[in-house]
Amino acid sequence: MLAATNAAAAEHSNDKNRNLAVSLMAIGYPIGAILGGSVAAWLLQYYSWRTVFMLGGCMSLLFIPIVWLRLPETVAFLCQRQPRDALERCNRTLERMGHANAEALPPVREQAFKGATSDLFSPALITTTTLVTLAYFTHIATFYFILKWEPKIVVDMDFAASSAAGVLVWANVGGAIGGALLGFLTRRYPVRLLTIGVMLITFVMVCVFGSGQTTLTGLALVAATAGFFTNAGVVGLYAIFAEAFPTHVRASGTGFAIGVGRGGASLSPIIAGLLFEGGFGLQGVAIFMASGALVAALALFFVKTQREPGRA
């Protein structure tokens, strides 16, 4: 879903607002975590855990007809592939966006693409594919260290287990705000540089999180601040996917980077657990896990996007 929605948001937006549109789409993740967690907590008071999964499935089912009937194919895709009724479909979309109708479609590019997947590893794109995938993998490992270990850390600090949910909510609230703010800033500043900046601050804040807090309020504040920057980095990566990959591989490139990168989400709690088991304290584990954001920032330093002045 993230790969498809990321590409759709990017291709339905103009150059000025593309990063903002992608960012607003991406903050649906932490907002959904806040609302979904609250609804799940209420459901579990009266029903079994299976009800939570049934609700999630029904919500997805509900949106199938909405997307089918209301979401048109993107103009960029129609101009590139040019099916039989492409011009008519393009003009319907242009009218909904307040633009004049097009009299004809642009000529199809002479270059014949091997296919979206194989093009990701062509000489022109393999460096971009590798760098953005590495950045997503390592940064998402840092992100999920906060999300997955925060409840256990709260309990280990002798706070009530029920307090962990509240701290996690604040981490997601911070994440939603951070993602939205980064989206608005991308209207004035290059998204790649903004994302590198928030990743560097992410490293600092995750290390601060690992230093421990004496009060629950302090822990919630640090978690919210860490969530603010870690999720802003994730949102920035989604916007970079939209800029770094050309239209014909935008969805597949985003899907590949997210698919492989989610390995970082899976390995993150395991690696942290092994470090704890090996005798490392919270501070040492936090510093090690926070280094993923540093690696991601370094990888993005070499990424070329399509909108930055002086870059390809």
- Radius of gyration from C-alpha coordinates of the chain: 21
Does residue 222 fall inside a structural domain?
yes
Alpha-carbon span 179 to 195, nearest angstrom: 10
Does residue 245 come out as left (phi exceeding 0), alpha (psi in the -120 to 50 range) or beta?
A: beta
pLDDT of 312 reads: 38
Domains held by the chain: number: 1
What are 23-37's pLDDT values in tens digits? 888 888 888 888 887
Q: 312 lies in a domain?
A: no
The model's pLDDT over 194-207, given as tens digits with 9 standing for 90+, comes to: 999 999 999 999 99
Count of C-beta atoms within a 10 Å radius of residue 32: 14
Q: What is the pLDDT of residues 92-132, one digit of tens each?
A: 888 888 888 888 888 876 554 555 567 888 888 899 999 99
CATH number at residue 199: 1.20.1250.20
Is 60 contained in some domain? no
Taking the C-alpha atoms of residue 141 and residue 267, their distance in angstroms, rounded to an integer, is: 7
Look up residue 248 and give its DSSP letter: G
Across 265-278, average pLDDT: 92
Q: Is residue 128 part of a domain?
A: yes
What gap in Å lies between CA 209 and CA 45, rounded to an integer? Answer: 31
pLDDT tens digits, residue range 276-308?
999 998 899 999 999 999 999 999 999 987 655
Reported as a single tens digit per residue, the pLDDT across 74-84 is 887 788 778 88
Contact criterion met (CB below 8 Å) for 233 and 137: no
| Token duo for residue 124 | 């022109």
Q: What is the mean pLDDT of the chain?
A: 85
- Please state, in angstroms and rounded to a whole number, the distance separating the CA atoms of residues 87 and 115: 23
Higher pLDDT, 117 or 22: 22
Domain that holds residue 128: 116-301
Q: Give the end-to-end CA distance of the chain in Å, rounded to a whole number.
A: 28
Token output for 16 = 């000025």
In a domain, 263, yes or no: yes
DSSP string, 107-155: PPPSPPP--HHHHTTSTTTHHHHHHHHHHHHHHHHHHHHHHHHHHHHHH
170, 227 contact by CB (below 8 A): yes
* Cα gap 271→145, rounded to integer Å: 9
Do 292 and 272 meet the contact criterion of CB atoms below 8 Å apart?
no
* pLDDT of 311: 43
- The pLDDT confidence band at residue 259, using thresholds 50, 70 and 90, is confident
| Whole-angstrom distance, CA of residue 290 vs CA of residue 208 | 10
Residue type, 261: G
Go through 127-148 and write b for each residue having 16 or more CB atoms within 10 A of its CB, e for each that does not.
ebbbbbbbbbbbbbbbbbbbbb
